[in-house]
C-alpha cells in the first residue's frame, strides 16, 4: 500500500521576485534651510597665511539658483578656528571647500562643514556636509567626497630644527598641542668637554612622567670630541657608519600625542658637554577634536 508521501504530488514553490532590479545609485538629499539653520565651518591649520574658500549653490523657495562664496582665515597654531553664518531659506545644492591662499600641503589644513540649529555652544549639529584635509589643488566637495578623519592618510612630513639645550643638559622636543607625531629620524651633534669619561647617547620617549621606550646609539665619545649621532625609523638597533658618526633604529609607527616627547639620554655625561640644536623629521597629523 502506498504511503502518504508517495500519494501526494510534488510541488515546486518559485522564489519571490526582487522588488527592484538593476543597480541602485544613492543620491544625496539636499539640506533644506528654514531660517533657523546655519552653517558652521571649523578649521584646524598649521600653515601660516592660509585662507579657506567655501563656495556653494542654493535654491530658494521661489526664484532661480544662486551661487555664493565665503572666505575664512584660520589660525596657524593647530587649534580649532570656527565661524558660523546663515545662508537664508532654501535648499543647499552643492558645496566645495579648498584653500585659496597659503599653499598648504596635505596634512596641514583640516576642515569640517556642519549644518547647525542655533548658534555657539548652544547649537545643535544636524549634519556634517564636508570633512577632511584640503589644499589649494585638492578640495573637498558635497556631494562627492567621503567624510575623512584627521588621523587618516599619510599625514604631513615636517623637518624641524629644535632648540639647543644648555651645557650638560639633554635635548627635549615635545609634541605641540593639536598635533600627533610619528618620529621618523633624529640627528644630534654632541661636543664633549675635557672631563674624562666615555659618553653614550640614547633617545627616549615619555609622556612627561613615565618613560616608555629607549633606543641606544652605538657611537660613544670620549673627552674633547665632536660627533653626530643618528636615529632612523626602521633601521637595526646598532648600525656603525664609521668615523665620528653612528646610526641606530627608532620604533616604527609609534605615534606620540600632544605633551609626549622624545629626548636624549646620555650615559656618563660630564660637566661642560654640549648638544647642538637637534634636527629631526616627523610625520604629523592634526588632532581635530
The per-residue pLDDT for range 179-235, each reduced to its tens digit, is: 999 999 999 999 999 999 999 999 999 998 898 888 888 888 899 999 899 999 988
Give the residue, 134 or 216, on which the prediction is more confident.
Answer: 134
pLDDT for res 9: 59
Single out the residue of 214, 250, 220 nearest to residue 232, CA to CA.
Answer: 250
Average model confidence (pLDDT) for the chain? 88
Task: Give yes or no for a contact between 190 and 229, defined as CB atoms under 8 angstroms apart.
Answer: yes
Q: What's the DSSP call for residue 198?
A: -
Locate the domains of the chain by residue range.
31-142, 156-286
Single out the residue of 260, 189, 186 nearest to residue 226, CA to CA.
Answer: 189
* Choices 3.10.450, 1.10.3470, 2.60.60, 2.70.98: CATH for 31-142: 2.60.60
Give the residue, 266 or 28, on which the prediction is more confident.
Answer: 266
Task: Give yes or no for a contact between 60 and 89, defined as CB atoms under 8 angstroms apart.
Answer: yes
Domain 156-286 in CATH 2.60.40: no
**What value does the mean pLDDT take over residues 71-99?**
94
The per-residue pLDDT for range 35-82, each reduced to its tens digit, is: 889 999 999 999 999 999 999 999 998 889 999 999 999 999 999 999
Pairing, β 274-275 against β 156-161: unpaired
Amino acid at each position: 500500500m502506498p504511503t502518504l508521501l508517495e500519494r501526494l504530488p510534488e510541488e515546486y514553490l518559485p522564489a519571490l521576485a526582487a522588488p527592484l532590479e538593476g543597480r541602485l545609485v544613492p543620491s544625496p538629499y539636499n539640506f533644506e534651510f528654514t531660517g533657523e539653520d546655519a552653517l558652521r565651518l571649523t578649521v584646524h591649520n598649521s600653515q601660516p597665511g592660509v585662507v579657506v574658500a567655501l563656495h556653494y549653490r542654493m535654491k530658494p523657495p521661489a526664484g532661480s539658483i544662486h551661487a555664493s562664496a565665503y572666505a575664512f582665515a584660520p589660525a596657524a597654531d593647530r587649534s580649532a578656528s570656527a565661524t558660523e553664518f546663515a545662508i537664508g531659506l532654501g535648499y543647499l545644492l552643492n558645496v566645495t571647500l579648498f584653500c585659496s591662499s597659503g599653499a598648504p600641503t596635505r596634512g596641514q589644513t583640516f576642515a569640517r562643514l556642519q549644518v547647525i540649529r542655533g548658534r555657539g555652544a548652544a547649537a545643535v549639529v544636524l549634519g556634517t556636509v564636508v570633512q577632511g584635509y584640503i589644499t589649494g589643488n585638492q578640495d573637498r566637495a558635497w556631494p562627492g567626497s567621503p567624510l575623512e578623519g584627521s588621523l587618516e592618510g599619510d599625514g604631513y612630513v615636517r623637518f624641524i630644527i629644535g632648540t639647543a639645550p644648555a651645557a650638560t643638559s639633554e635635548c627635549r622636543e615635545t609634541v605641540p598641542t593639536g598635533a600627533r607625531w610619528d618620529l621618523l629620524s633624529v640627528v644630534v651633534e654632541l661636543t664633549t668637554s675635557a672631563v674624562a669619561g666615555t659618553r653614550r647617547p640614547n633617545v627616549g620617549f615619555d609622556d612627561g612622567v613615565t618613560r616608555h621606550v629607549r633606543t641606544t646609539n652605538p657611537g660613544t665619545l670620549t673627552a674633547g670630541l665632536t660627533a653626530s649621532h643618528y636615529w632612523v625609523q626602521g633601521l637595526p638597533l646598532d648600525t656603525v657608519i664609521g668615523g665620528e658618526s653612528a646610526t641606530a633604529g627608532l620604533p616604527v609607527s609609534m605615534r606620540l600625542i600632544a605633551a609626549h616627547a622624545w629626548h636624549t639620554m646620555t650615559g656618563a655625561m660630564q660637566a661642560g658637554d654640549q648638544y647642538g640644536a637637534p634636527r629631526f623629521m616627523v610625520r604629523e597629523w592634526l588632532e581635530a577634536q
